[in-house]
Amino acid sequence: MSQDNTNDNKKNPPLRSQAWFGKQDKDGFIHRSWMKNQGLPHHLFDGRPVIGICNTWSELTPCNAHFRELAEYVKKGVYEAGGFPVEFPVMSLGESNLRPTAMLFRNLASMDVEESIRGNPIDGVVLLMGCDKTTPALLMGAASCNLPTIGVSGGPMLNGRYKGKTIGSGTGVWQMSEEVRAGKIGMQEFIDAESCMNRSRGHCMTMGTASTMASMVEALGMSLPHNAAIPAVDARRQVLAHMSGRRIVEMVKEDLTMKKILTRKAFENAIRVNAAIGGSTNAVVHLLAIAGRIGIDLKLEDWDAIGADTPCLLNLQPSGEYLMEDFYYAGGLPAIIRELDHLIYQDALTVNGLTIGANNAEAECYDRKVILPLAAPFKDKAGIAVLKGNLASNGAVIKPSASTPSLLVHRGRAVVFESVEDLHARINDEELDIDETCVMVLKGAGPKGYPGFAEVGNMPLPPKVLRKGITDMVRISDGRMSGTAYGTVVLHVSPEAAVGGTLALVLSGDMIELDVPGRRLHLDVSEEELARRRALWVAPPTPTRGWYKIYVDGVQQAHLGADLEVLVGASGAAVPRDSH
């Protein structure tokens, strides 16, 4: 077998793939020969970097349904740079279809990614990701292997357009659904908007979890600049994929691994960027989990300490007016990063070998209605707030930029729903004892309780409250909410109800105090009464088989990132023992 790159191998790091393809024996014959049935010529096995393209394409994941085409552009770049691209599928998590929640399978998909990378002849990885959980799942799995890796997001959809107005994916659903329940619009109008909201390939064009996590990939330094906002249908998204394919080959030769990029500085930068873009609360659990895989000691409290005072600079739904297409035309994430200036670590390394400061030093803003300056921000102190108290001893989170300011300090009577089924059964009942001053409480939505930590925290308001023109109430749960949602919603209460956290003991009629400026969440019930209730509490039944059981038995609580305990840490990518 030809070894044309003998001299290069002296200065480049050894390639894992050569443990498969470089062997001059029976095993090498097997590894090369079976690959050749795809029409691959012999020279592709000559010692060039083998690049795995980790693809979450699926027609059941509409956000990622264009990834087979996107992968072809990555391959062009890999070939152009002298690499050997091999595309492989992993479990795809479609937020809009997968039940009971895509979050139940994030950790499972990360295991698929991790073991697919480690067990195969791969030297570097390109991660194709878009829909909410595909991004953290791929980053978590790849981080556990720590090979040279670059992220390519699929890009947001074009702006939704309905009756001459702009509507945002997800956010528009929540808004119009409440209008139907309030009797303001009819069901036919609601249905007509379906085809107008999501009218192109791509993920949500609001600052939901998909756009947030695409932004986190860029802020962490794990993608080329502009990964976050280029629309999926824009030809520049394909160019980004092509250039990422080229770059990953260079990263392998440079041995630029994930651990060299995902430093403490990178995570702190991402937390600040999340605040500046009005990013999803889901970024909290995902970044905690990614940090746990790469070995960075990131805590829930860091979100408050690092990002809480960071202003929101982006006027984008659900916190604002515009959408991701407008964000890209206004300058995209590079303009935000440059605007943050001294608030981020400029010397943090990125996948192109340059620092984040160097990448964005000349970034321009082209529309100040969309991206506002640091000196006159869209919203002040917009980072995720971490709340603690007897109702959430390990913490809970709230997104002030999407909340009603007058509700950020509130005391109200609890109206408790024991499950999401209980919520759906009673919320439309005109006899429900509730008004706008009450605090809605939902139990059983946490990691173990749902199971899977579902996006049900943004509970619908009762119709009789909506008819008053009220559009927000304080809501508290151990679940999550979609990044496209909004409202004064306290989420991720930990410990959750299913493990006997104080949330499990709340009864309708109890008084609850929310004090976001004071970072306090308090149930006004005596310790003696709570002890009495705790003695009567009965744990809910748990799954008895399959992934549900593995997940519930091993998942961590929300404040730790909801990863499986056995997956925290990393195993690297040492070449496993041979298969023959």
Query: To 5 degrees, how large is the angle CA 201–CA 284–CA 133?
Result: 35
Q: Could you give the angle at which helices 282-294 and 134-143 cross, rounded to 10 degrees? A: 10
Count of residues in the chain: 580
Distance CA 516, CA 409 (A): 6
Q: What is the pTM of this model?
A: 0.95
Burial grade of 190 (CB within 10 A; 0-12, 13-18, 19 or more): middle
CA distance 150 to 126: 5
Give the type of residue at 264. R
Q: How far apart are CA 135 and CA 129, in angstroms?
A: 5
Angle, nearest 10°, between helix axes 282-294 and 264-276?
A: 170
Q: Which residue has tokens 């570097």? A: 124
The pLDDT, as a whole number, for residue 579 is 85
Query: Would you list the DSSP string of 472-517?
Result: --EEEESSB--TT--SSEEEEEES-GGGT-GGGG--TT-EEEEETT
The two structure tokens encoding residue 69: 């085409």
Give the pLDDT score at 1. Answer: 33
Give the residue carrying structure tokens 């005072």: 309
**pLDDT value, residue 178:** 87
Phi, psi dihedral angles at 164 (to 5 degrees) = 80, 5
Q: How far apart are CA 262 and CA 260, in angstroms?
A: 6
In this structure, what token pair is assigned to residue 9? 């191998």
Listed in sequence order, the residues at least 6 apart from 554 whose beta carbon sits closer than 8 Å to its beta carbon are 564, 565, 566
Of 283, 338, 278, 343, the residue nearest 312 (C-alpha): 278
pLDDT of residue 516: 96
Q: Which two tokens stand for residue 281?
A: 């609360």
Of 457, 226, 447, which is closest to residue 328 (Cα–Cα)? 226
Q: Supply the pLDDT for residue 417.
A: 98
CA 342 – CA 279 distance, rounded (Å): 20
What are the residues facing 439 on neighbouring strands?
414, 474
Rg of the chain taking only CA atoms, in angstroms: 24
Per-residue pLDDT of the chain (580 residues; tens, 9 = 90+): 334 444 444 468 889 999 999 999 999 999 999 999 999 999 999 999 999 999 999 999 999 999 999 999 999 999 999 999 999 999 999 999 999 999 999 999 999 999 999 999 999 999 999 999 999 999 999 999 999 999 999 999 999 998 888 898 888 888 888 888 888 989 998 888 888 888 999 999 999 999 999 999 999 999 999 999 999 999 999 999 999 999 999 999 999 999 999 999 999 999 999 999 999 999 999 999 999 999 999 999 999 999 988 999 999 998 899 999 999 999 999 999 999 999 999 999 999 999 999 999 999 999 999 999 999 999 998 899 999 999 999 999 999 888 999 999 999 999 999 999 999 999 999 999 999 999 999 999 999 999 999 999 999 999 999 999 999 999 999 999 988 888 999 999 999 999 999 999 999 999 999 999 999 999 999 999 999 999 999 999 999 999 999 999 999 999 999 999 999 998 899 999 988 8
Distance CA 51, CA 195 (A): 38
Residue 494 pairs in a beta bridge with 395
Sheet holding 149-153, edge to edge: 84-89, 50-55, 124-129, 149-153
Distance (Å, whole) CA 64 – CA 204: 11
Rounded Cα distance between 464 and 460, Å, is 12
Helix (H, G, I), strand (E, B) or coil at 278: coil
| Secondary structure of residue 217 in the 3-state scheme | helix
The single residue listed with the structure tokens 């014959």 is 29
Among 341, 324, 340, 330, which residue's Cα sits nearest to residue 364?
Answer: 330
Say how far apart CA 240 and CA 205 lie, in whole Å.
18
Strands 124-129 and 84-89: unpaired
pLDDT reported for residue 171: 84
The backbone torsions φ and ψ at residue 480, rounded to the nearest 5 degrees and listed phi first, read: -110, 180
CA distance 305 to 28: 53
Q: Which residues contact 470 (CB under 8 A, 6 or more apart)?
A: 436, 461
What Å distances lie between residue 303 and 44, 129, 284, 310, CA to CA?
Answer: 46, 24, 8, 11
What are the tens digits of pLDDT across the range 41-64? 999 999 999 999 999 999 999 999
Backbone angles phi, psi at 415, to 5 degrees: -120, 110
